[in-house]
Structure 1
Amino acid sequence: MSGQRKNPQARDRTIGAQLKALRQEQTTLNLEAAARAIGWSTATLSRIENGKRHITSEDVAMVLTTYGVPMAQREELIESARTGVQAGWWSRPLPGVLPDVGTLASYEASARAITDWSFSFIPGLLQTERYAAGLMSEDGAEPLEVTMRWRARLQRQRVLPTIDYTAFLHESALQQPFGGVDALREQLSHLVQASTRGLGVRIVRGRVPHRLLLHPWLLLDFPDAPPVLNVELNGSSVFLHDDEVRSYDNMRSMLDGMALSSAESRSMIGQLRERL
């Protein structure tokens, strides 16, 4: 394959799905035969078709030529691959910010809906600067790293007015004073304002099933591709696809049934803020 290896982004999922459809609809090649004709391993083509590997416009051209796709259709898809590469700030990563953050941002920018779940802290898409800085500092981040990571987080938050967003938060997450009590009070005010603006902020109270305690996660739904799940780990994250996402979709339905309504949640957050 040509070019330097990059992390897959949202456009790779869309292009991969299109290439898979072309192989199945316009050729008689199965996955193994197609990979052999292109000169790739079966695993490589499978990962490309499922959006798990970055593909360049040159690679797209080679696949389409192998499949005998008509020139007009070929040029349209190649141009889509070429223009999608520099789609956002994540194509120029900030120093100190993990590459996975750029991958996540590209997914968020293409998503139709995003669902967050967190048991112990406010998710990044809803964080304020002082709260986020306190959280990152407690994790051992140096001041410059905190600044760069916050800048990336602020860029990610710009998608919120354009998508259907819901955050399910356990009540424990509302009581952790990262950055101090004043920072937490400011953060709770921000949650109330976000809810008033129409973002989904819903609180889960009391005991929850064990599987909801394992890790925070973010589920992304797309208009033209299967959902993707981002699982946040200590200092890194992983992306899950296809069948791996199904159990989290079930957990989302569970949370929807357990959580307070947006209005009830907004009232509870306001009361907690007043008690600080």
Structure 2
Amino acid sequence: MPAGGRPTVRSRRLGAALRRYRLAVKLDQPQAAEVIAAHQTRVSRIETGHVIARPIEIRAMLKAYGVDEPEVREKLEALAKQSNRRGWWLQHAEHLRPDYLDHIALEDDATYIREWQPVLVPGLLQTPAYAEAIITEGPNYVAPERVAQLVKVREGRQAKIEEGGAAYTAILWEAVIAHPLVSVEIHREQLSAILEVGKRKNVTVQVLPFSAGAVAGSTYAFSSFSFESEPTVEAVTMENLRGTSVLEDPEDLAAYANAYDQLRSAALAPDASARLIRSAL
């Protein structure tokens, strides 16, 4: 069972993949249960991520589902092994919501991370001062002793980008650049930091200008994640006042991939975006 008795994003990804392969060959759960000599309940719990499939079960299921690519088997077995792996963020788990832990786990696994942010500077780009101001002045009360902890977690998340562990693209609406939500001093420092991070080979920052019109209102802020060598969207997260929602349904993923393509097409090129940020400075 996943640590803590609740599905992790990795165990859910594993279960969702096995379910897709099962449905593709039109087998039901009782038939899948016969393949691994188990009760239907185990197959159900594997597919929902409440139970982690053993390597021998993964191999048997994939064989029954007609999936014989070694790379698929290796990927799913790796997910099974990693489902209970303790990430750096778990040392802060008592201070963080479970859904936020899921978001961090997706970032940690991702090879491609793409974000759209019409209001705030994304967490992966925030300076400590900006993060502290946003957390302190945000709509949800955060006890003073927790603020430093949350800022430290955001800095930990940024290590993934700093170390080149993922290709990262952020699209920011021009309002994020032009209208400070924090003090002018902190905002200036933040804009300078965005320009510096944008020089990294694995980072692309684009600004969607006001002139783009209604496309900026097409969707709320979201992040998308890919886990392979190609940037196919495999998970999306959206933040709201009550937490972070993780979307994994293929139709949802396709919709957000399309929305991101539209935003990127309407945004300024990276060089032009950098010039706009410098002009704001």
| Structure-2-length-normalised TM-score | 0.78
- Per the alignment, in what secondary structure is the counterpart of residue 165 of structure 1? strand
Paired position in structure 1 for 2:207: 203
What is the letter of the counterpart of residue 216 of structure 1?
Answer: A
Counterparts of 1:79 and 1:257, CA distance in 2: 35
Paired position in structure 2 for 1:31: 29
Contact 2:206 2:267 in 1 (8 A): yes
Counterparts of 1:118 and 1:68, CA distance in 2: 39
Range that drifts further, 10-19 or 148-157:
10-19
Counterparts of 1:11 and 1:110, CA distance in 2: 13
| Aligned partner (choices 173, 177, 186) of residue 174 of structure 1 | 177
- Per the alignment, in what secondary structure is the counterpart of residue 202 of structure 1? strand
Do the aligned partners of residues 7 and 14 (structure 1) sit closer, same or farther apart at CA in structure 2, a change above 3 Å counting? Answer: closer
Paired position in structure 2 for 1:120: 119
Residues 97-144 of structure 1: CA deviation (Å, up to 9, x unaligned): 211222112111221211100111101111111111111111232222
Paired position in structure 2 for 1:183: 186
Residues 32-51 of structure 1 aligned to structure 2 (within 5 Å): 32-34=30-32, 38-41=38-41, 44-45=44-45, 48-49=46-47
- Per the alignment, in what secondary structure is the counterpart of residue 186 of structure 1? helix
Counterparts of 2:26 and 2:158, CA distance in 1: 44
Paired position in structure 2 for 1:60: 54
Range that drifts further, 3-12 or 112-121:
3-12
Paired position in structure 2 for 1:261: 269
Residues 71-150 of structure 1 aligned to structure 2 (within 5 Å): 81-82=80-81, 84-139=83-138, 140-150=141-151
Counterparts of 1:92 and 1:54, CA distance in 2: 22
Paired position in structure 1 for 2:236: 229
Do the aligned partners of residues 226 and 169 (structure 1) sit closer, same or farther apart at CA in structure 2, a change above 3 Å counting? Answer: closer
Counterparts of 1:8 and 1:258, CA distance in 2: 35
Unaligned stretches of 5+ residues in structure 2: 64-69
Do the aligned partners of residues 176 and 40 (structure 1) sit closer, same or farther apart at CA in structure 2, a change above 3 Å counting? Answer: farther
| Cα root mean square deviation, aligned | 3.5
The alpha carbon displacement at 1:28 in A equals 9.0
Contact 2:10 2:83 in 1 (8 A): no
Equivalenced residue count is: 262
Contact 2:195 2:274 in 1 (8 A): yes
Counterparts of 2:258 and 2:247, CA distance in 1: 15
